[in-house]
Amino acid sequence: MKNQSVTNNIDWITIVLFIALVIMGWLNIYSASLPVQETSIFDIDQIYGKQILFIILTIPLILVVLTVDAKIYEKYAFVFYVIGLVSLLGLFVFGKTIKGQTNWYSLGGFTLQPSEFVKTSTALLLAKYLSDVQVNLKNFNDQLKAFVVMGVPLVLILLHDTGTAMIFVGLVFVLYREGLPSWYLVTGFSAIALFFMALLIEPHFVVAIVLVIILLQYLLSKRINRNPIASLVIFVIIAGFTYSVDFVYDNVLESHQKDRINVLFGDNVDMKNEGYNLNQSMIAIGSGSWFGKGFLEGTQTKGGFVPEQHTDYIFTTVGEEWGFVGAIVVISLFIFLFLRIIYLAENQKTKFSRVYGYCVATFLFMHFLVNISMLIRLFPTIGVPLPFFSYGGSSLFAFSILLFIFIKMDANKVNEW
Amino acid sequence: MRKAFLPSLIVLVTIIIVARLFYLQIIDDSYIKKSDNNAIKIKYDYPERGYMFDRNGTLLVANQPSYDVMVIPKDVKDIDTLGFCKLLKITKEEFLKKIEKAKIYSPRLPSVFLPQLNKKEYAGFQEKIRKFQGFYIQKRSLRDYQVNAAANVFGYITQVNEAIIKKNPYYKSGDLIGKQGVEEVYEDFLRGTKGVKYVQRDRFNREIGSYKEGIYDTIAVQGEDVTLSLDIELQKYGESLMINKRGGIVALEPKTGEILALVSAPSYDPAILVGRDRSKNYTKLNDDTLAMPLYDRGLLAEYPPGSPFKIMTGLIGLQEEVIDVNTSFVCHHGFSYGRGAFMKCHDSGTNNLHTGFAHSCNTYFANVFKLTIDKYPKPTYGVDAWSNHLKSFGLGSFMGYDLPAGRKGHIPDSRYYKRWYPNGGWRSTTIISNSIGQGEVSTTPIQLANMMASIANEGYYYTPHIIKKIKDHTIDKKYTTKHVTTVDKEHFKPVIEGLFGVYNEGTARSLRVEGIDICGKTGTAENFTKINGKRTQLTDHSIFVAFAPKDNPKIAIAVFVENGYWGARWAGPIASLMIEKYLRGKITRTDLEKRMLEGSLQNEYAKVTSGQPFSINN
């Protein structure tokens, strides 16, 4: 039963979802980048023409991924990981700066963004590490090693690109699935909540609320469980964190980052400057109504009001031209894809492929969450592409590789004896 | 539990995102408007306003191009304000004030920044307009008057105000609309329909093609030309006769009800209400509360008609069969209608209907009126019968002619007198002044002209109207509907003979025109004003009503000259000249014409404001 055709046992549902998203993505890129004078859809000078080329190039790439022996990915996970890190470090020397971010290698006419591919290599090594039978995430040492695996690329990426770095934080969900104690998540979510609360309302007030909660918890708990020292320490940490938010906000964040947070919360935002992108994005989506303005009929899209519409803001075209109904369709496809991957992951026979599948689902989901939330003012503006949808060779290739490695592992599970 | 975490998080996040999308796309509809404001520019194509012609096809009102500087305040940025102001010859303060005003109307919608540039200003500005973001030129058409006459008939064009914009969404800030006269009444035909073009623009405000392939665009519909019933030569002649006088002339074609001339004096050159000086000139005209050049006296001057009203008293007497043509009454310089009550008359002797008209005998008509009212068992019935006859001639109503100004006049009925005399006790003699057109009756010149047209037609009239033809449209049915009077045809003959007698042997014999049989009636209306709060009598208004020729009448006319004293002094000659001019095209009585053209009543009008005591009727 060995060496069957590459299509044997692969999960067609995932593939259909993938194809649907890529096609819908291209249609929206076409609309968003259509010049006044129509040209051939294969016109390589146009953005939509290039995207067609990228899509075509993806096919052999996928075939290669599906053909390679699934064992390779586990075996050489560490090698891939190191290559990834080297490619990130290389940016400091050979990197090309586009729009203020040095995330790119320039190869001939095309540019390549290594951080897109590092997601795959990190996922592989993390999967490999966690699948080791001796590793137990209840142990602090193992936790630490896991954090190092995901942390090193995260920090390297953070130096150029906050958005992609944020995506890596999602790997905590994978660790949690594999046994990381809950308090990591609780602490993390609490910190995020406190951060925004401290920005929104007076820090003293936040601290007062925290003090009341801790006191109540202390007084209401059973006498034997009371630990005044622990309660005090928790309070001091929280208070310190809360007060440091202002300091971080004022002294650490750069002005454009501050602007993005202001735009999210502020009422007094200049819609012509720092608020322009978000405002135009919301106008595009908000004016779509139930069924949208129709394919190629979006006035916001045609008029080029939304900047970077074919890349990070591609979903605004969906919202404007396809309306609420179209947006629901696209969102549903994504959600089905995520849940399908998680379902497949849970059914893997090896821990390695399960963790890897989980990483794939998490990465895709984090992109989806951050990308769409920033368009509708649920999250500060952070530039990350929408998987399979946004224009760009690097991201399409990288997401395809990421996904199809998992499809290959899944197809291969019958051989895992 | 750990397995469920990520799927739950995904579902939760999806719900939040979908809810947020639902709010943005479905519930909050402000984004649709914002999107339209962003990307859709509405461009108007203003059609040329319809022309006006007179009844003989003479062009009266045409158009000239005009260029408005429009501004969209939101789009104004980084312009060379000083250069801009210099180009348009305005100060920087004016510039800021105008921008501020436009902003108050709307920061996003265009407002007129500077209206009606002339061709030279336009040429200079057009060259540099590219440098001034947020400004553009809107071409419109302005009136170009071919005649210096009939300003009161034409009306004028003005920019719409806020109230109109609110009431009628067709109009946008800066649009023009007809006000007064034909411009107002036939606005919908004259203006046409502006074309609307939805243009899509990009974020640099560049036009990138039509919106939705132009499915919402409409093409401008040209305004329609209208032909007025006015005879412009007669109109001009009437206006020249009224120079230095105040008053009105209304001339109708009896067979159709068409208005041949509608003169109001003093008047103004219609051309001064065009262009950038429009509002300045308008204010000047509007502020002249003495001469009141904007007050159309032909339609609005409401006075007791005096003697011309005797015609109606006679007609009603005949119709009510209280007299016949031979009934006579003796007059001893007046009519005694009660203890100590006496109506003076300049006449004496015995008058029948014919001589009663010729001599304008008060006694005769007072008797006729008394018999008419007393024919009925109660004066209320009598007055109502009388009132209904009068109303069938269009008196006491707005009549429904197609000009916006008007007064109802007053024809009393029993209800009116019951209100005045709540305890009863009024009789025919109480209201006897009505018989000779004094008392409670009042009329406007156009009502008197229509009354004469009804008499000329022997018992019917068509509602007076200024419109003769609208291209591709039939005129309103109400102007082609015959109104029949309650006085029967046979009673008009003797009355017409009586009115002819006025010219041959009566009060207007000095005004005879060789070869034209004119039927007319002189009139004098007492009038009062308040000087320093004191009711003061002024010299009588001179009134004359007529139609001609007697057989197959072509023109019915009412002339009214303020403070002109008796009827045959000013109004009579002017009426006869108008008739001669209309029927013959030329004037034989040049002496009379000269006297009328050059005659002035300015001294009479100056009395009121002189502050000195003055005498009247001299």
Residue of B nearest to A297 (CA): B212
Of B14, B22, B203, the CB nearest to A335: B14
> Are A309 and A301 within 8 A, CB to CB?
yes
**What value does the mean pLDDT take over residues B293-318?**
91
pLDDT at A223 > cutoff 80? no
Q: Both tokens of residue B65?
A: 């191009």
**What value does the mean pLDDT take over residues A368-388?**
88
Confidence of residue A24 (pLDDT cuts 50, 70, 90): very high
By the CB < 8 Å criterion, does B13 face chain A? Answer: yes
Q: Which of residues 168-187 of B touch A (CB under 8 A)?
A: none
Q: Both tokens of residue A334?
A: 């994504």
> What is the nearest CA distance from A293 to chain B, expressed in angstroms?
10
Sequence-separated (6 or more) residues with CB below 8 Å from residue B519 = B455, B456, B496, B499, B500, B502, B503, B546, B547, B548, B550, B553
pLDDT of residue B253: 95
Residue-by-residue DSSP string for A376-413: TTSS-----PPTTTSS-HHHHHHHHHHHHHHHHHHHGG
pLDDT tens string B410-454: 999 989 988 888 888 888 888 888 998 888 899 999 999 999 999
pLDDT of residue A2: 47
User: CB distance A282–B24 less than 8 Å?
Assistant: yes
pLDDT of residue A286: 85
**What value does the mean pLDDT take over residues B190-205?**
81
pLDDT at A3 > cutoff 60? no
Residue of A nearest to B198 (CA): A299
Percent of chain B with pLDDT over 70: 98
Residue of A nearest to B203 (CA): A305
Q: Which amino acid is at B240?
A: S
Estimate the crossing angle of helix B232-241 against helix B590-598, to 10 degrees: 70
pLDDT at B526 > cutoff 70? yes
Angle formed at CA A388 by CA A385 and CA A389, multiple of 5 degrees: 65
How remote is the C-alpha of A397 from its chain's centroid? 15
DSSP letter for B319, please: H
CB atoms closer than 10 angstroms to residue A269: 17
Q: Which residues pair with A98 in a beta bridge?
A: A101
> Are B593 and B587 within 8 A, CB to CB?
yes
SS3 B77: coil
pLDDT tens string A144-186: 999 999 899 998 888 878 888 889 989 999 999 988 888 888 8
Between CA B151 and CA B264 the distance in angstroms is: 9
The answer to whether the peptide bond before residue B549 is cis (omega within 30 degrees of 0) is yes
pLDDT of residue A270: 66
Q: Both tokens of residue A343?
A: 């379902």
Q: What is the 3-state secondary structure (H, E, C) of A298-334?
A: CHHHHCCCCCCCCCCCHHHHHHHHHHHHHHHHHHHHH
> Higher model confidence: residue A48 or residue A259?
A48
CB atoms closer than 10 angstroms to residue B569: 16
By the CB < 8 Å criterion, does B39 face chain A? Answer: yes
pLDDT of residue B340: 61
Find the range with the poorest average confidence among A70-74, A331-335, B274-278: B274-278
> Higher model confidence: residue B279 or residue B57?
B57
> Are B62 and B142 within 8 A, CB to CB?
no
**What value does the mean pLDDT take over residues A399-416?**
85
Of A177, A284, A328, the CB nearest to B6: A177
Question: Hey, of A270, A287, A295, which one would you mutate to test binding to chain B, going by the most B CBs within 10 A of its CB?
Answer: A287
Task: Collect contacts of A176-181 with beta carbons under 8 A, ≥24 apart.
Answer: A176/B2, A176/B5, A177/A358, A177/B2, A177/B3, A177/B5, A177/B6, A178/A130, A178/A137, A178/A355, A178/A358, A179/A136, A179/A137, A179/A138, A179/B2, A180/A137, A180/A143, A180/A146, A181/A137, A181/A138
Chain A residues lying within 8 Å of B30, measured CB to CB = 286
By the CB < 8 Å criterion, does A229 face chain B? Answer: no
User: CB distance B25–A299 less than 8 Å?
Assistant: no
**What value does the mean pLDDT take over residues B212-224?**
81
Place of tokens 């602490």: A187
pLDDT at B9 > cutoff 80? yes
User: CB distance A323–B25 less than 8 Å?
Assistant: yes
Confidence of residue B60 (pLDDT cuts 50, 70, 90): very high
User: CB distance A305–B14 less than 8 Å?
Assistant: no
Question: Hey, of B31, B32, B199, B216, which one would you mutate to test binding to chain A, going by the most A CBs within 10 A of its CB?
Answer: B31
Distances in Å between the alpha carbon of B165 and those of B169, B170, B186? 6, 7, 18
pLDDT at B14 > cutoff 80? yes
Supply the mean pLDDT for chain B: 87
User: CB distance B25–A324 less than 8 Å?
Assistant: yes
Chain B residues lying within 8 Å of A328, measured CB to CB = 18, 21
User: CB distance A378–B16 less than 8 Å?
Assistant: yes
Confidence of residue A6 (pLDDT cuts 50, 70, 90): low
pLDDT at A261 > cutoff 80? no
DSSP letter for B147, please: S
Q: Which of residues 118-177 of B touch A (CB under 8 A)?
A: none
Confidence of residue B54 (pLDDT cuts 50, 70, 90): very high
User: CB distance B200–A299 less than 8 Å?
Assistant: yes
Of A299, A342, A372, the CB nearest to B6: A342
pLDDT of residue A234: 82
pLDDT of residue B339: 61
pLDDT tens string B393-411: 999 999 989 998 889 999 9
Of B14, B16, B39, the CB nearest to A303: B39
Confidence of residue B62 (pLDDT cuts 50, 70, 90): very high
pLDDT of residue B31: 83
Q: Both tokens of residue B183?
A: 């411009």
Confidence of residue A393 (pLDDT cuts 50, 70, 90): confident
DSSP letter for A414, please: G
Q: How many residue pairs bridge chain A and chain B with CB atoms within 8 Å of each other?
A: 116
DSSP letter for A83, please: H
Angle formed at CA B533 by CA B532 and CA B539, multiple of 5 degrees: 75
> What is the nearest CA distance from A59 to chain B, expressed in angstroms?
29
> What is the nearest CA distance from A95 to chain B, expressed in angstroms?
32
- Name the CA radius of gyration of chain B, rounded: 32
Q: Which of residues 342-361 of A touch B (CB under 8 A)?
A: 342, 346, 358, 361
By the CB < 8 Å criterion, does B7 face chain A? Answer: yes
User: CB distance A286–B18 less than 8 Å?
Assistant: no
Confidence of residue A266 (pLDDT cuts 50, 70, 90): low
pLDDT of residue A99: 67
Beta strands at B226-228 and B52-53: parallel, antiparallel or unpaired: parallel
User: CB distance B35–A376 less than 8 Å?
Assistant: no
CB atoms closer than 10 angstroms to residue B83: 12
Q: Minimal CA–CA distance to A111: which of A409, A410, A394, A308?
A: A394
Question: Hey, of A186, A270, A283, A316, which one would you mutate to test binding to chain B, going by the most B CBs within 10 A of its CB?
Answer: A283
Q: Minimal CA–CA distance to B65: which of B141, B143, B160?
A: B141
**What value does the mean pLDDT take over residues B373-389?**
91
3-state helix, strand, coil in chain B (%, to 5): 40, 25, 35
pLDDT of residue A1: 41
Chain A residues lying within 8 Å of B209, measured CB to CB = 36
